[in-house]
Amino acid sequence: MNEDELTKVFDSIQEKIGKENSAAIADDLGTLITKNSETIQALKSKDTEIATLKSTNAKLVAANGNLLQQIPMSDEDPAGSRPEPEKEPAPFSMKACFDSRGNFIN
């Protein structure tokens, strides 16, 4: 509700209850008018802030999209990125440690 509409409502109240009774509640009506004005100003500032944030968000999304387009995409992995398959250990044999005469091989 803007100030003009609020003023019309208060004038209508004053006409209905009379000037004497409306003077008794004038301070409360003034408080309502003041608080309504503050609320309207707060809403305007919030709308401005929301518009600014939406604009900034759109710019950031566009910048991120441009950055993602600059990253090269390839199916091939670089040579060092693939882990080498593990080799199975050779079976251990005690016979391989000794020669034909039963002496230890150095």
Q: Are 86 and 80 in contact (CB under 8 A)?
A: no
- Domain membership of residue 88 (yes or no) is no
103 part of a folded domain: no
Structural domain includes residue 106 = no
Phi–psi pair at 104, nearest 5 degrees? -70, 135
Is 89 inside any structural domain? no
pLDDT of the residue at 48: 98
Residue 83 lies in a domain: no
What averages of pLDDT result for each successive group of 10 residues across the chain (106 residues)?
A: 82 88 85 90 97 98 94 70 78 85 84
| 91 assigned to some structural domain | no
Compute the distance between CA of residue 67 and CA of residue 61 in angstroms, rounded to an integer: 10
Q: Is 102 left (phi over 0), alpha (psi -120 to 50) or beta?
A: left
Instruction: Tell me what pLDDT residue 75 has.
Output: 67
Domains: count for the chain: 1
In a domain, 28, yes or no: yes
- Quick check: is 90 in a domain? no
φ, ψ at 35 (rounded to 5°): -65, -35
The domain containing residue 57 runs over which residues? 3-74
